Structures are given as C-alpha cells and as structure tokens.
C-alpha cells in the first residue's frame, strides 16, 4: 500500500461507545500529528443522521448496564449473519456523511470502530473513496464486523488477532504495537506515587484496581466484594462516569470507590494489580505500564471473547471461578505473571500508517 508523504491530511474515525475506541484514536492522532501530519478526527456517532447515533449510544450503554447478557446474544447474531438488516441500513445511512468527512484531499483514513470500517470498505469498493482505508483493531478477539471488504489494511495487536482477521477475509494484515499514550511508559517517581496515594486516600496495603470502562459497567460490585473477601488485596474501583455505582460502593465501606480519573497511568502504578472485565484499552495500558492484569467476571460478548484471547496469548490470565480468585491475585502480587505485550513488534502504528 502506498504511504503518504509527510505533512499530508489524514482522517481518523472513532466512536464514543465507551472510551476504548476514542482512546486508541486519540493516541493515533497524537502520533500522526507529532509526525507532521494534519489530522481530522470524527466521531461515528455524529456521522449517523438524525441523531440516531446518539440514540444508539444511549441504548448500548443502557444494555450493558442493565441487561449485559443480551449484548452477548446480539454480537453472536451479528457474527453469524454478518452485516445485515438494521446494521446495514445504519451504516448505509452514514455513507454520505463519511464521504464528506473524508473529503477528496485526504491521504488516508483510519478507523478504530467496526461499523466505521464497514462504511469505509463499502465506499472503497464502490470507487467513491480515493484515500486508502485502514482499520485499527482495538480488540484482541476479532469479531466479523471488524473485517470489511474494501479496507486496504487491517492493523492487529498480536499475531493471534492477525490470524483471526485473515480467517475472516482480511488480506493485508499487519501486526503493530498497541496505541497507548506515553504516560503509561514514562517513569513515575516514588514521590509522585506517594502524593497520588494520599490524594486518592489509598492505604498502605496491596491494592487491586478494578476497571470497568468509562461507564463503569459489568458485575463490578460483586467483583469488589469478592476481592475484599479474599483478604489478599483492598479493592479500588475506577467507576468512570457511573456516579450511582461510586456511591453504592462507597456506602459498602469495604471498597475505595473513585469517580472519573484523568491520570489513569499513575493510578495503575499506585496499585499492584489491575482486575478488568472487557479486555479493552485499560488492559493494554496496564500491561504497558508494567502492572499485572487479571480478568474476572467479564462482560458477555466482546468481554468474554477478549478474555479468552488475552488468556490464550499469555498476556492476561482469566480467573473463571471465585474459588480461584485468591490464587490468581497472589500470583499477580508475587510477580509470577509478568505478562506484557513484548511479543508485539516495536514498530509504532504511526510508522506503519504514515511512514
């Protein structure tokens, strides 16, 4: 694939369904701009006409919060029938807005969201989009919706994810390093960590940071209660923007419940293990920061498939039963895990996309 020369215009399309897709897009944008490119970012939610994207985002959040098992069913249905019915109509309705957002002078367009990739692939197949289209796979498990005919390159975070994408029909698949912000690799002094612990009210004890995305979804309360019951670590829950969850956990008296945290890199380093439930960006950030990660009480659908992939490649062990939680936490706290994305080649995403 032809790569654009420096100082070209590149379009990045994400989606504000949680923070994972946007987080990857933000880091890609930062790297590309640092390389001298002009980068325009768009939210797929805003490209869907008649505010239907906003409605869908609200329904998705409500579904994950109240009926998460139905999300697993929906993903399975979408995987078996590919892009049909409502999903096809939704993306087709977005074609015009996507075409206008990319314009005629873009050297490349990069998507971090499956449905955006489907739109870009269709525009490429129809000859309506001249700019090469790239899909950055934010998940280690690759759902069929991630792979779109017409997309020029799919970027995967591991050989295993690359294999999945190829089995689903992707042709040019490249393995790249995760797009994680520099804060998760930059060193932090002991003084900064001590001040952060004091600011968040963290005790001098082994700490298990429970992450549940920007919306604080999943079986978070039971996860925190189970961790507290082990006596191995004190649960610290990053509730994101879920203030209802934060207040409930605070009332329990056994959990340190935090709201929205801007400096997640320091918070992760202030704890000894991260407990996650979806296998998204937070997992990659913690691994990059050198903090061991375990999966526990994962979300249905993409949470379970990502948990399986992370466990299979040896990055994050999946604790499937409560009876195994003590052993899993002790292994993490003793340094027996040490899983990091070391198997990923050192090339940055920006280098492969825009070199």
Q: Domains of the chain, with CATH numbers?
A: 9-175 (3.40.50.2300), 182-342 (3.40.50.2000)
Strands, E assignment, 46-166: 108-111, 133-136, 153-156
In angstroms, how far is CA 140 from the centroid of its own chain?
9
**Mean pLDDT in residue range 294-307:** 90
Which secondary structure element, helix H or strand E, spans residue 56, and what is its range?
Answer: helix 52-66
Do residues 266 and 247 make contact, with C-beta atoms less than 8 angstroms apart? no
Give pLDDT tens digits for 58-94. 665 665 566 555 545 445 555 555 444 556 666 788 8
Structure tokens at 72: 């697993």
**CA 331 – CA 317 distance, rounded (Å):** 10
Q: How confident is the model at residue 315 (pLDDT cuts 50, 70, 90)?
A: very high
Torsion of CA 8, 16, 82, 279, to 10 degrees: 100
Q: How confident is the model at residue 344 (pLDDT cuts 50, 70, 90)?
A: very low
C-alpha dihedral sign at 339, 345, 348, 352: negative
CB burial readout 62-94, b (16+ within 10 A) else e? eebeeebeebbeebeebeeeebeeebeebbebb
**C-alpha to C-alpha distances, 258 to 73, 215, 217, 246, nearest whole angstrom:** 31, 13, 14, 6
Q: How confident is the model at residue 50 (pLDDT cuts 50, 70, 90)?
A: confident
Q: Shortest CA distance to 278 belongs to which of 20, 88, 6?
A: 20
The pLDDT of residue 342 is: 45
Maximum pairwise Cα distance, the chain: 60
**CA 154 – CA 349 distance, rounded (Å):** 11
Q: Quickly list DSSP for 166-220.
A: HHTT-SSEEE------GGGTS---HHHHHHHHHHHT--SS-EEEEE-TTTT-SSH
Give pLDDT tens digits for 144-191. 889 999 999 999 999 999 999 999 999 999 999 889 999 999 989 999
**CA 66 – CA 47 distance, rounded (Å):** 27
Strands, E assignment, 61-184: 108-111, 133-136, 153-156, 173-175
Do residues 154 and 121 make contact, with C-beta atoms less than 8 angstroms apart? no
Q: Is the model more confident about 166 or about 301?
A: 166
**Mean pLDDT in residue range 9-17:** 92
Q: Which residue has the tokens 């801007």?
A: 262
Q: Quickly list DSSP for 126-141.
A: TT---S-EEEE--SSS
User: 257 pLDDT exceeds 90?
Assistant: yes
């Amino acid at each position: 694939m032809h790569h654009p020369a420096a100082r070209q215009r590149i379009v990045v399309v994400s989606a504000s369904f949680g923070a994972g897709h946007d987080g990857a897009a933000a880091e890609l944008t930062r790297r590309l701009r640092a390389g001298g490119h002009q980068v325009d970012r768009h939210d797929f939610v805003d490209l869907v006409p008649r505010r239907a994207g906003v409605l869908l985002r609200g329904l998705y959040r409500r579904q994950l919060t109240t009926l998460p098992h139905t999300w697993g069913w929906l993903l399975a249905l979408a995987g078996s029938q590919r892009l049909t019915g409502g999903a096809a109509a939704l993306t087709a309705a977005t074609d015009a807005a996507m075409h206008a957002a990319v314009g005629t002078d873009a050297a490349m367009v990069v998507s971090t969201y499956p449905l955006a990739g489907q739109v870009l692939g269709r525009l490429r197949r129809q000859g309506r989009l001249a700019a090469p289209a790239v899909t950055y796979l934010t998940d280690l498990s690759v759902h069929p919706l991630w792979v779109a005919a017409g997309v020029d390159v799919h970027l995967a975070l591991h050989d295993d994810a690359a294999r999945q994408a190829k089995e689903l029909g992707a042709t040019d698949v490249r393995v790249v390093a995760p797009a994680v912000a520099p804060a998760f690799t930059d060193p932090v002094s002991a003084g900064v960590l001590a001040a952060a612990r004091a600011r968040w009210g963290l005790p001098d004890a082994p700490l298990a940071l429970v992450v549940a995305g920007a919306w604080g979804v999943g079986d978070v309360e039971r996860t925190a209660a189970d961790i507290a019951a082990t006596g191995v670590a004190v649960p610290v829950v990053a509730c994101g923007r879920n203030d209802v969850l934060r207040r409930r956990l605070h009332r329990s008296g056994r959990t340190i419940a935090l709201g929205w945290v801007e400096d997640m890199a320091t918070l992760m380093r202030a704890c000894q293990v991260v407990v996650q439930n979806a296998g998204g960006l937070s997992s990659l950030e913690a691994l990059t920061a050198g903090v061991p990660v375990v999966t526990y009480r994962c979300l249905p659908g993409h949470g379970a498939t990502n948990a399986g992939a992370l466990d299979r490649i040896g990055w994050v062990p999946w604790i499937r039963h409560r009876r195994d939680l003590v052993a899993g936490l002790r292994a993490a706290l003793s340094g027996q895990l040490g899983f990091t994305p070391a198997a990923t080649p050192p090339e940055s995403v920006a280098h492969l996309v825009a070199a």
